[in-house]
Amino acid sequence: TPDNEFEKLIRPTVVPASQIGVTFDDIGALTDIKESLQELVMLPLKRPELFNGGLLKPCKGILLFGPPGTGKTMLAKALANESGASFLNISLSTIMSKYYGDAEKTIRALFSLATKLAPAIIFVDEVDSLLGQRDRRNENELPRRIKNEFMTHWDGLLSKSNERILVLAATNRPFDLDEAIVRRFEHRIMVGLPTLDSRELILKKLLSKEKIEEGIDFKELATSTEGYSGSDLKNLCVTAAYRPVRELIQKEQQKVKIRRKMQCKLRSQKRNPKVR
Ligand code: ATP
């Protein structure tokens, strides 16, 4: 069937939980968010019998929003990994890729594949580009059709409490989202820039497996990195880690130079023993 063909095309975007390298423990700070996600997602996926009807229903939509590089993607991956859910990583480019041809069929295949792989997390990165505000002048345009198709399948999930599929999305531009889409996210979680204490925790986490000088003042580092995101802190650590490597290479090159000089000197002494 056409759907099967499209499912095959979606498959490369699926990462089984066992192959996701990120855990909650790799994420510095963000404690409250990690706890909320564990309660909202992991518990219903692991113990669905506790969420069967009544007031408690498994959550089907969570939006993570905030500035770039604050750990939204990391949180999504860790969540899939630790809840044992397959991770379907979707973005506008996946849906619109020329290989996929028909965007609506691709979305249909996405949801049907997720149902087969459940428990599953459909992660939509940069959701504003895929499900942004409707442009009323272009009612029949492809973006609108994509949104409608996505919402139809999502609503299908919302009406069935036993489907163990979650739509998890991330954006840096929450205000660009279509209102109808925002409403479908039962939980909207802000992942902001790290505070002073959080920066200290993130720096400690990023450097926890590295050989570092004794007595590094993490508080001072955190103080001097106001406004940095987790990703900025990571880049800072990577840059710092290059320094000893660069020094080592320079020392090695220096040694090679000295050895070559000595060899030249020895050779010329052999040829002309009087030269000193
Ligand atoms: P974007 O909105 O640009 O997609 P994002 O919020 O999804 O960004 P991530 O991709 O999760 O951010 O983070 C980028 C990188 O920054 C991560 O791979 C990680 O190395 C580092 N990082 C960010 N936040 C943290 C954190 N709290 N603890 C440890 N590392 C972090």
Model pLDDT for residues 258-269, shown as the tens digit of each residue: 999 988 888 888
- Ligand 1 center–CA 244 separation, angstroms: 25
Task: Note whether 126 and 92 are within 8 A (CB).
Answer: yes
Terminal CA-to-CA distance of the chain, rounded, Å? 87
Q: What is the mean pLDDT of the chain?
A: 87
Return the bridge partners of 186, or none: none
Tokens of 110: 């996405």
Task: Note whether 150 and 107 are within 8 A (CB).
Answer: yes
Q: Whose CA is nearest to atom 31 of ligand 1?
A: 230
Between 138 and 21, the more confident residue is: 21
* pLDDT, mean of residues 234-252: 92
Question: pTM for the complete prediction?
Answer: 0.86
The number of CA neighbours under 13 Å toward the Cβ of 120 is 23
Task: Note whether 224 and 188 are within 8 A (CB).
Answer: no
Cβ-Cβ contacts under 8 Å for 139 (sequence gap 6 or more): none
* pLDDT, mean of residues 247-268: 90
pLDDT at 126: 92
Q: Counting atoms of ligand 1 from 1, which one is nearest the CA of 75?
A: 11
* pLDDT, mean of residues 239-259: 91
Q: How confident is the model at residue 25 (pLDDT cuts 50, 70, 90)?
A: very high
Evaluate whether ipTM surpasses 0.90.
Answer: yes
8 pLDDT more than 60: yes
- Ligand 1 center–CA 133 separation, angstroms: 26
Model pLDDT for residues 28-62, shown as the tens digit of each residue: 999 999 999 999 988 887 777 888 767 888 888 99
Ligand 1 pocket member 132 (CB < 6 A)? no
Ligand 1 pocket member 205 (CB < 6 A)? yes
Cβ-Cβ contacts under 8 Å for 20 (sequence gap 6 or more): 77, 78, 80, 81, 87
Q: Counting atoms of ligand 1 from 1, which one is nearest the CA of 74?
A: 11
276 pLDDT more than 60: no
Model pLDDT for residues 62-108, shown as the tens digit of each residue: 999 999 999 999 999 999 899 888 999 988 877 776 555 588 888 88
Tokens of 40: 């909202």
Cα Rg of the chain (Å, integer): 26
Ligand 1 pocket member 70 (CB < 6 A)? yes
Q: Whose CA is nearest to atom 21 of ligand 1?
A: 231
Q: How confident is the model at residue 189 (pLDDT cuts 50, 70, 90)?
A: very high
Ligand 1 pocket member 119 (CB < 6 A)? no
Model pLDDT for residues 205-216, shown as the tens digit of each residue: 999 988 888 888
- In percent, the amount of the chain with pLDDT more than 70 equals 92
Q: Counting atoms of ligand 1 from 1, which one is nearest the CA of 27?
A: 28
- In percent, the amount of the chain with pLDDT more than 90 equals 50
pLDDT at 252: 93
pLDDT at 138: 58
